[in-house]
Amino acid sequence: MNDLQQQLAAIVGPAHVLTGEAELASYLTDWRGRYRGRALALVKPGSTDEVAAVVRACAAAGVPMVPQGGNTSLCGAATPDQGGRSVLVNLSRLNRIRQIDAANNAITVEAGCLLAQVQEAAAAAGRLFPLALASEGSCQIGGNLSTNAGGVQVLRYGNTRELTLGLEVVLPDGCLWNGLTALRKDNTGYDLKDLFIGAEGTLGIITAAVLKLFPRPRAVVTAWLAVADGAAAIALLGRAQARFDARLTAFELISRQSLDLVLQHIPGSRQPLAAPAPWQVLLELADGGAWADLQADLEDFIGGEMADGRVQDGVLAQNETQARQLWALRENISEAQKIEGLSIKHDISVPVSRIPEFLDLAGTALAAAFPGVRVVAFGHAGDGNLHYNLSKAQRQDNDAFIAATPQANRIVHDLVARLGGSISAEHGIGQLKREELVRYKDPVGLDLMRCIKSSLDPRGLMNPGKIL
Amino acid sequence: MNDLQQQLAAIVGPAHVLTGEAELASYLTDWRGRYRGRALALVKPGSTDEVAAVVRACAAAGVPMVPQGGNTSLCGAATPDQGGRSVLVNLSRLNRIRQIDAANNAITVEAGCLLAQVQEAAAAAGRLFPLALASEGSCQIGGNLSTNAGGVQVLRYGNTRELTLGLEVVLPDGCLWNGLTALRKDNTGYDLKDLFIGAEGTLGIITAAVLKLFPRPRAVVTAWLAVADGAAAIALLGRAQARFDARLTAFELISRQSLDLVLQHIPGSRQPLAAPAPWQVLLELADGGAWADLQADLEDFIGGEMADGRVQDGVLAQNETQARQLWALRENISEAQKIEGLSIKHDISVPVSRIPEFLDLAGTALAAAFPGVRVVAFGHAGDGNLHYNLSKAQRQDNDAFIAATPQANRIVHDLVARLGGSISAEHGIGQLKREELVRYKDPVGLDLMRCIKSSLDPRGLMNPGKIL
């Protein structure tokens, strides 16, 4: 053990410092297996004070730190570089629910809590913590905060940023900032917490947060609707919002090709309507009143849409089992696509009004550049956020197509930029999109980011090589 | 005219540079008349490019700049200091609505638009811009953004921060940051916009913003309810949220003394219930469905509350006129208090769950320290935000009491701090609360604020003497 390793062992206890190649292996690669790094050690502090002491020791030694939660980043944000000089600071042991204040609709949690653990603690107090993601059983709330994670209920409840009231952060010099307020209104100076949310651990290590809770809806109703095209879907969204406003908790768009993949590859999947449609919308409402009333309201709304021919067909879940079956069709798209083979993935957003234009223009441009390309488009249309994944049907064709990723990215991302959109709606930048960021971000905005980074972390020790 | 004044005149045209004492007078004092400053000149740029050129000229001359909108700050945030070296940068001529995208529920406005103008533009497009304040006819949106203004609908729609999608900002060196995105999701690096929102012009000059719009509710219903105490009000809030969730758009708490002042001083005011109660709640619901349905739901809810004795009495507005009469009782409290005489004002927040404790402890401590003190407590209880104003009934007593402001502040603010609250919930810091900020803010947080200030504005030229 070298000097720093010994100091770290003294801080957290020798059992919580890993240095061997075999014990480190699973922490050195990312969830999608795109990156493999090296590290001097992995350290698992057991308290905020230990995190601060670890940061001070690393800072004194001039050693870079890579904060790591559940290691589920889709962009390699929690994987160290190849240099082998970094220390991985793993937050898993900071996993206490510190406090629940149901009357204030707030919960104070440590960074290493699993997202599912936060959801369960809220439920046990009769409340809802609405952040919900595919990886909720393994991702940690510190990672959700550092990525500003999204998910399927952003339409109603916002991103992780909007769900956060306060933060506790260990700064790059090892000082502890206590910003754990539980207030809905606080105008005492600069908004510090939002600097750390979405910063992917490059400005400090989030150790705890105060998060918003909500009443648990008594009634949830779910519908699966067939529409002709993107424009019809977005027009439907507008009318659903006018009628139901914040009771509209989800509005997911699913292309026929996405649905077909699920029906083909996921056992037990069943087409919910008589005939497949070019586009499907999965829509959910939630309310604190009686289920039957909400269901009747939704039936009335959909009846009107169908009578006017604006929705071609539709089905309402009659119970929770049916609702879960509809949701499974949406949630299994990524899994079905994985079974089918590799694809080029995009996580883009545009103004909601421009989704139809994006779908038309991107589809046309890609078909021209890559004849036979298969577009699997689906996602959070209510937020202007689509997952837009491309592949080719034949294995050999697809290998050549995957090799052309930069050209495909250029078509998709140039169009996104032209429509005023974002090349990363909810997954962050990490290592994966650093170069794309430089290409598309406003240069003055990039300079501002660099200015903030160099003033908070002048030696560049916090998660180097991520974002900037 | 000195050299800089000539440069400014060359940029914006001589008609838009004021230098005479008389023409400047109204811009040099704040709305409440607490501060009176001096300035080298007031300049009214007509475009973002002119703002940038003005900032470059001032920066080159080393001259401080004070951005000013409608000059309605309650904390002296837009008033220059006594030095007379500053240039007032008045944004009034940047008053165009640049774009409305109803399908994306977004509006792009320039900083000098009146808040009421933004509300009207939204209404003309069939949408709601929900920010609503007493000064909406004269305050400008740039000031609302720089103060992170609150108001009566924060419970449903959030503060100005939550209503903002993108910003355009002229930085202290005159560079223009174009962050005018209209996206619900964008995780491409640090959250820059939230640094400028609530920064009171100390980090740059906001020149334009993209703001969120919402569907216009078809139905709005209003009730006035009598409850026994703060604890009963907060328990009622919890049940109303469980039943109506985001359809609950306002939950205002009004003490009997607040109501009595209005009944006494505002002509035409009428006690809405048979007997006055110690505390009244003004509650509003909004929805996209039929008015009669929503009214019936609220009647049902209030009926249950009254049957259980948790609400002592209540009345529902039967039409818009009655609703406006109920709201006038709430909105005229400040005016009635002004007629009564001077008062010591506080704009505090605590976790919603601690409002009852705050009211009890503050009332007891103040009565002990200042026998006969009159507490006028009212405000946005649903957000944990109270306006808590203190006075004495007799003129001479009151003069002595006003002179004891620091001692009264100490009692109120020490308690707020102990309960995890904020000494400025929605009015900001400005000049008024700088010393209180240093006393109550986490010192590491203050250092972070200073670090950000000195990295973005190393020469301290942007609105000096405000916040920090």
CB contacts under 8 A, A 87-116 vs B, are: 101-106
By C-alpha distance, the chain B residue nearest A183 is B351
CB contacts under 8 A, A 33-92 vs B, are: none
| pLDDT per position as a tens digit, A399-432 | 999 999 999 999 999 999 999 999 999 999 999 9
Q: Where are the beta strands (DSSP E) in B237-324?
A: 248-255, 279-287, 313-316
pLDDT category at B32 given cuts 50, 70, 90 is confident
All structural domains of chain A: 2-90 (3.30.43.10), 97-215 (3.30.465.10), 219-334 (3.30.70.2190), 341-444 (3.30.70.2740)
Whether A238 and chain B come into contact, CB under 8 Å, resolves to yes
**Chains A, B: CB pairs < 8 Å:** 282
Q: Round to whole Å and give the CA distance between A376 and A255.
A: 7
Q: Round to whole Å and give the CA distance between A172 and A54.
A: 11
| Residues of chain B positioned with their CB less than 8 A from the CB of A181 | 420, 422
By C-alpha distance, the chain B residue nearest A246 is B246
CA B165 to chain centre: 19
CB contacts under 8 A, A 119-148 vs B, are: 147-148
| Residues of chain B positioned with their CB less than 8 A from the CB of A183 | 349-351, 384, 420-422, 425
- Determine the pLDDT at residue A1: 64
By C-alpha distance, the chain A residue nearest B383 is A184
- Residue of A460, A161, A214, A227 lying closest to A359 (CA atoms): A227
Whether A466 and chain B come into contact, CB under 8 Å, resolves to no
In 3-state terms, chain B is what percent helix, strand and coil (to 5)?
Answer: 40, 20, 35
A56-66 burial: b if 16+ Cβ within 10 Å, else e: bbbbebebbbb
Amino acid (one-letter) located at B314: G
| A347-349, strands of its sheet edge to edge | A313-316, A219-227, A279-287, A248-255, A374-380, A385-391, A347-349
| Residues of chain A positioned with their CB less than 8 A from the CB of B449 | 189-190, 192
- For residues A2-11, give the mean pLDDT: 96
A320 CB-contact burial (10 Å; exposed 0-12 / middle 13-18 / buried 19+)? exposed
Evaluate if residue A91 carries a pLDDT over 70: yes
Q: Where are the beta strands (DSSP E) in B78-173?
A: 87-90, 97-101, 106-110, 127-128, 164-170
**Taking each helix axis from N to C terminus, what angle separates B48-61 and B3-12, rounded to the nearest 10 degrees?**
170
CA B126 to chain centre: 25
Query: Tokens 């103040």 map to which residue?
Result: B366
Evaluate if residue A220 carries a pLDDT over 70: yes
What are φ and ψ of residue B42, in 5° steps? Answer: -115, 130
Q: Round to whole Å and give the CA distance between B238 and A32.
A: 43
Q: Round to whole Å and give the CA distance between A405 and B24.
A: 61
| Residues of chain A positioned with their CB less than 8 A from the CB of B181 | 420, 422
Asked if the Cβ–Cβ distance from B425 to A186 is below 8 Å, we say yes
pLDDT category at B176 given cuts 50, 70, 90 is very high
Tokens found for residue A139: 């991702």
- Determine the pLDDT at residue B2: 87
Q: Residue A423's CB: how many other CB atoms inside 10 A?
A: 25
Q: Round to whole Å and give the CA distance between B402 and B387.
A: 17
| pLDDT per position as a tens digit, A45-77 | 999 999 999 999 999 999 999 999 999 999 999
Supply the pTM of this predicted model. Answer: 0.97
- Determine the pLDDT at residue B330: 96
Which one of A188, A244, A354 makes the best mutation probe of the B interface by having the most chain B beta carbons within 10 Å?
A188
Which one of B171, B181, B245, B451 makes the best mutation probe of the A interface by having the most chain A beta carbons within 10 Å?
B245
- Of chain A, the percentage scoring pLDDT greater than 90 comes to 97
| pLDDT per position as a tens digit, A240-296 | 999 999 999 999 999 999 999 999 999 999 999 998 899 999 999 999 999 999 999
Which one of A155, A173, A187 makes the best mutation probe of the B interface by having the most chain B beta carbons within 10 Å?
A187
Evaluate if residue B213 carries a pLDDT over 80: yes
Which one of A352, A434, A448 makes the best mutation probe of the B interface by having the most chain B beta carbons within 10 Å?
A448
Whether A292 and chain B come into contact, CB under 8 Å, resolves to no
pLDDT category at A151 given cuts 50, 70, 90 is confident
By C-alpha distance, the chain B residue nearest A155 is B184
Tell me the ipTM for this assembly: 0.97
pLDDT category at B1 given cuts 50, 70, 90 is low
CB contacts under 8 A, A 366-395 vs B, are: 380, 383-385
Asked if the Cβ–Cβ distance from B421 to A183 is below 8 Å, we say yes
Asked if the Cβ–Cβ distance from B177 to A103 is below 8 Å, we say no
Alpha helices by DSSP H, listed for B269-319, are 291-307
Whether B210 and chain A come into contact, CB under 8 Å, resolves to no
Evaluate if residue A119 carries a pLDDT over 90: yes
Whether A455 and chain B come into contact, CB under 8 Å, resolves to yes
Evaluate if residue B151 carries a pLDDT over 90: no
The residues near A171 (Cβ < 8 Å, ≥ 6 apart) are A55, A177, A203, A204, A456, B444, B448
CB contacts under 8 A, A 298-337 vs B, are: none
CB B333 within 8 A of CB B361: no
